[in-house]
A and B are shown apart, each in its own frame.
Chain A
Amino acid sequence: MKIFKSIKWRLQLWYGLILVVVLAGFGFTAYQLERNRQFGRIDQELHRRLNVLANALHRPPPRRLDQGFFRPPPDQMPDEAPPIRQENRPQPEFRLPPEAAQLFGTNDSNGFYFHITSGTENDRHEIARSENYQKPKAVIQFDHFFDQLNHADLPPEKRPAKLKSMDYQDERITADILPSGELIEVGCSIAPELNELRHTALNLAAVGSLILLVGLTGGWWFVGCALWPVSAISTTAAKISAGDLSQRINVADAESELGQLAAILNSTFARLETAFAQQKQFASDAAHELRTPVTVILTQTQMALARERDAAGYKQTVEACQRAAQRMRKLIESLLELARFDAGQEILKKMQFDYAKTISDSTELVQTLADERGVKIMAELDGLEVTGDPERLSQVVTNLLTNAIQYNQPSGEVRVKLESQTGLAVLKIADTGQGIAPEDLPRVFERFYRADKSRTGAGNAGLGLSICKAIVEAHGGTMEVASKQNVGTTFTVRLPV
């Protein structure tokens, strides 16, 4: 089920379960409290009546003349006469005082009744009973339970202080055995209380369901509110993965955990966008650089084939095509070299070598070019050794020297200086050329960037300095440039010794 894997649904499920448990516990407790309250009240009434009966048994009312001899017809004594049935055999008379008699009968919704017997357990005879006492079956069962409940088998002083009651169907009964041996049972109907409790239970269930409903709805809304930033983040992320890198997540609440996450994602997106833009620019520049030689080949061949030519004409075309192809080869090699550095795949040798010697060798390599331009190279090299790839570093030095000569004035100077500074081998190559304009200076290491838009030097695609920088950085070094217009430019290469 996919739906239950969503955080929103899972949160809602857990929240709903907890809510149900809490509500059920609360409802159950409330019901029990109400039940105890109701039954406690009933028990109090029962015990009060039990005490009244017990007292009546031991303090019989003052004898009256007619007692035992004359029994008035039942209709003549309805008010005061308790519903007592006289036994035939002789026994002490029991008469309920009028105020006690009021406590029993059907005029009360509970209909309290009593039943008094004496004798032993197996031979009980009735002393008195209320008129509404009519459930001998209950009594039989009650006898049995009562013994267990109130420990009637124990001597009175050892019995529990408080009498217990028990329920039988919709009645509640309690009983006591007096020291003199009489067993008093008092009971009543608890139908009204049970009815009331049923109502209470229904009400609790209804209110509980309502609270559950409101709680779940509120919870759903709260979870939605809490998870809203997540869906906003995923919507934006989806848009970004669809190709629109300029999208950003709206960080409304930057202090929250999700706000921080959004901020982190935003900065990641920003870096992605920059990287993508650079990549796009790089690809576009590379394509642009390749277009010119391809155009040369196309126009040269189309022109050559337009009509019959002599051998010299064809030779000219082929030579032009060759130049274009060489230019493309150089460009492709440079691009691949850069790509390998980007991917960290360029394998550099790691060996200790004489850096000063490498530099002076490079100086000799460019001497011819310097002589052609009448540029003087002055080298001041401290003997230093570094660890790295001598061929690659020689490539860097040669490239920088060539630039320094090419962009120099006629009969200018190139100063090369190598010295040790705080654990670094610092190489400075300074020319006396026109310098680089301040607006171009930060961009000279950018790929395909040419300060002057001239492309007359075939193969000068504006990748040389980018490659130099990549090589130096692969050695753990840094490369920087400083320039003053009409004074000269200085490139500084710092390598760890």
Chain B
Amino acid sequence: MRILIVEDEPDLLASLAQALREEGYAVDTADNGDDGLFNAEGTDYDAIVLDVMLPGIDGWEILKRLRKTKKTPVLMLTARDQTCDRVKGLDTGADDYVVKPFDLEEVFARLRAVIRRSANKTTNLIEIGDVQIDTAARNVLFKEKPVELTAREYSLVEFMALHRGEVVTRTQLYEHLFDENDTTMSNLLDVHVSNVRKKLGAEFIVTRRGHGYCIE
């Protein structure tokens, strides 16, 4: 899962980015409106955390322009908790909002929720054959036994599970599992896929030669 954070307060940006990376997300950051809009339009993020007050283009404007081309879920960070601000945010196309000062746990939960909703899922539990994925607790059961997955492996499983039935290209996987700071080696993805197959069964991820991977 790859996330963009647009926030101009450096200390807040740093702590949010670190906390989300520790949650297993691939995180890109922008500290002003122009960079934020550029990134948001150029990459398929799974979600965007967007501050309202920004130097350059403000959060509302980014949202308005982004919605012309992309449906990326957006979680707004606002310092104003007045109803008119929330209404404005939701009407402009925000998927949810969090009022400052917030708890990190709440941001995590709301992020999961907007990502889940964008994949048309209503609960945190995904069941695929013998595999059960709990996206809130970030754990995976195989034949009702917990399976140890690395953060990257878990992200791979979660992303594939949320796009169940679709063929996911390698490019897509690189985009969603690695952030702009990762130095990706071309075979790294194959390593993760083969590790997941070892842990969850060889048929869990099907290879569509020439296209990509798929969970059926």
Chain A interface residue count, CB cutoff 8 Å, equals 25
Provide the bound-state CA to CA distance between A307 and B22, in Å.
Answer: 9
A288 located at the interface, meaning its Cβ lies under 8 Å from any Cβ of chain B in the complex: yes
Contact A295 B100 (CB under 8 A): yes
User: Residues of B contacting A294 with CB < 8 Å?
Assistant: 100-101
Which B residues, 63 to 81, have Cβ-Cβ distances below 8 Å to chain A? Answer: 79-80
Do most interface residues of chain B lie in helix, strand or loop, or is the interface mixed?
loop
Is A198 positioned at the interface, with any CB of B under 8 Å from its CB? Answer: no
B8 to chain A, nearest CB (A): 6
Could you give, for residues 5-31 of chain B, a 1 whenever the CB lies within 8 Å of some chain A CB and a 0 otherwise? 000111110111011001000000000
CB of A461, distance to nearest CB on chain B (Å): 12
Q: Are A300 and B15 in contact, with the CB atoms below 8 A? A: yes
How far apart are the CA atoms of A252 and B175 in the complex, in Å? 70
A contact residues around B19 at 8 Å (CB)? 299, 302-303, 306
| Distance of A377 Cα from B22 Cα, bound (Å) | 49
Give A307 to B69 CA distance when docked, in angstroms: 39
Contact between chains at A298 and B58 (CB < 8 Å): no
- State the CA gap A307–B100 with chains docked (Å): 23
CB contacts under 8 Å to B, within A288-338, are 288, 291-292, 294-300, 302-303, 306-307, 316-317, 320, 323-324
- Tell yes or no: B149 within 8 A of A by CB: no
Interface size range of chain B in the complex? 20 to 34
B58 → A minimal CB distance (Å): 6
Contact of A296 among B11, B22, B53, B54 (CB under 8 A): B11
- Residues of the A chain whose Cβ atoms lie less than 8 Å from the Cβ of B11: 296, 300, 320, 323-324
A454 to B53, CA, bound (A): 8
Q: In angstroms, how far is the closest chain B Cβ from the Cβ of A315?
A: 13
> A292 contacts B12, CB within 8 Å?
yes
Q: Say yes or no: is A452 at the interface (Cβ < 8 Å to chain B).
A: yes
A217 within 8 Å of B (CB atoms): no
CB-based nearest A residue for B57: A453
Could you jot down 23 A-B contacts, CB within 8 Å?
A: A288-B79, A288-B80, A291-B79, A294-B100, A296-B9, A296-B12, A296-B15, A298-B103, A299-B102, A299-B104, A302-B19, A302-B104, A303-B19, A303-B104, A306-B19, A306-B22, A317-B15, A320-B14, A324-B11, A453-B58, A455-B53, A455-B55, A456-B10
Which A residues are within 8 Å of any B CB, using their own CB?
284, 288, 291-292, 294-300, 302-303, 306-307, 316-317, 320, 323-324, 452-456
Which positions in B face A, CB cutoff 8 Å? Answer: 8-12, 14-16, 18-19, 22, 53-56, 58, 79-80, 82, 100-105
Q: Supply 16 further A-B pairs (C-beta < 8 A) apart from A288-B80, A295-B102, A303-B19.
A: A284-B82, A291-B79, A292-B9, A292-B12, A295-B12, A298-B104, A302-B105, A303-B18, A303-B22, A306-B22, A316-B14, A320-B14, A320-B15, A454-B56, A455-B9, A455-B53
